[in-house]
Amino acid sequence: MGNEGTIVRKPRFLCLHGFRTSGEIMKIQLHKWPQSVIDRLDLVFLDAPFPCQGKSDVEGIFDPPYYEWFQFNKEFNEYTNFEKCLEYLEDRMIELGPFDGLIGFSQGAILSGGLPGLQAKGIALQKVPKIKFIIIIGGAMFKSTNVAKDAYSSTMDIPSLHFLGETDFLKPYGTELIDSFENPVVVHHPKGHTVPRLDEKSLEKVTAFIDTLEHLLMEEEVKIGEDLIM
């Protein structure tokens, strides 16, 4: 509840899953979080555009089908189908949106962390509202020089929440990504490359982050209301 009993609408997030997994799998992963957190967010889960083109790390843990957002070479610095991925995302966001933010895990987190910058540069998501918030779980920066130069050309001044796993192989790269944001909120957890459960301390941080988002959305709606009256 907000001021004077106004109901705050839930922050609406498009959830981008990990490499060679699916929207359904990410839904299961995120539901490790307490219901008290999940209930405050409006979550939409999307499958990536390309069927899995090799073995998935989650085979035997989660059922197929598996999907991938784009492909890359073994050095991770050259991408295939990246433009098609951006077009697909924009089309789905037009169809299913509007969205306030993105939640990404792994390859989905790499995308989520770079999209606000690409949008600001006029390279991606030009037909949809500005991405206002992001949540990054096990993320990293784009390694393709062509993409990175545009994605991180300036520091992003949007609320961002970053989960860093102590034993995550992407941790050093996830730490670099945090430097691209003005006021990042960082949650450290003891696990590896996974969507972590929330302990008491991390739950406090996540709850405070959602409070911030609700407050910003409420301010935005008040402003829209005032503009309509003017």
| pLDDT above 60 for 188 | yes
Output the pLDDT for position 2: 44
Q: Residue range 196-220: average pLDDT?
A: 96
Output the pLDDT for position 6: 60
Share of the chain above pLDDT 70, in %: 97
| pLDDT above 70 for 127 | yes
> What angle do helix axes 82-96 and 107-120 make, rounded to 10 degrees?
80
Q: Residue range 204-211: average pLDDT?
A: 97
Confidence band, pLDDT 50/70/90 cuts, at residue 112: very high
Is 151 exposed, middle or buried, given 0-12, 13-18 or 19+ CB atoms closer than 10 A?
A: buried
Q: Residue range 142-167: average pLDDT?
A: 96
Q: Which two tokens stand for residue 87?
A: 């077009």
d(Cα 161, Cα 38) in Å, to the nearest integer?
15
Please tell me the total number of residues recorded for the chain in this structure. Answer: 230
Of 159, 212, 229, the residue nearest 8 (C-alpha): 212
Encode pLDDT of 2-60 as tens digits.
444 566 789 999 999 999 999 999 999 999 999 999 999 999 999 999 999 999 999 99
Higher pLDDT, 227 or 69: 69
Q: Residue range 118-139: average pLDDT?
A: 97
Q: Scanning the structure block, which residue is given the tokens 């990990």?
A: 18
